[in-house]
Structure 1
């Protein structure tokens, strides 16, 4: 008795060739993008983490002191700072292509 329940499983064992990459002019990066990546790669990665932790701390201090509107405003900076840190790390790892 066969334990395999998918009748098409043998078909999925075939080797497939990878499709060639699509290279088009409209997919090329502009010089402005390269400039941003070059400048971003110069900033140490921990700067964005420290900035986001500082924004969390300031937001918490403002919330505790009763200033909820500025607290929420500064608290919204945390996510973009962390995303910028991830982008910075990706630029450093993969570089320009």
Structure 2
């Protein structure tokens, strides 16, 4: 009667290597780097460098998503 409800999915070698390395980083580092890029973007906007500001303004979202992924891997574990 032992039904395994958890599907058996394995990560590939690249994802496993990335998870092992990013698991070594504290989760809040992603938060602070994201906030830092927001501050740099705002400073560039104030300085009138709008193209550079808009370019850097796209980075925080990606950094924060990587931090979220990092946190989920730490909480849920990986294979």
TM-score, normalising length: structure 1? 0.71
1:61 equivalenced with 2:43 (yes/no):
yes
RMSD of aligned alpha carbons: 1.8
2:73 is aligned with 1:73: no
Residue 17 of structure 2: aligned partner: 35
User: In 2, distance between residues paired with 1:56 and 1:20?
Assistant: 42
Consecutive unaligned residues of structure 2, counting only runs of 5 or more, are none
4+ long deviations beyond 3 Å: 18-23
Residues 35-61 of structure 1: CA deviation (Å, up to 9, x unaligned): 111111001111100001000000000
Query: Cα distance 1:19–1:52, how it changes in 2: closer, same or farther (>3 A)?
Result: same
| Higher relative contact order (CA closer than 8 Å, sequence separation 6+) | 2
Higher Rg: 1
Question: How many matched pairs?
Answer: 77
CA distance in 1, matches of 2:74, 2:7: 24
Higher relative helix content: 2
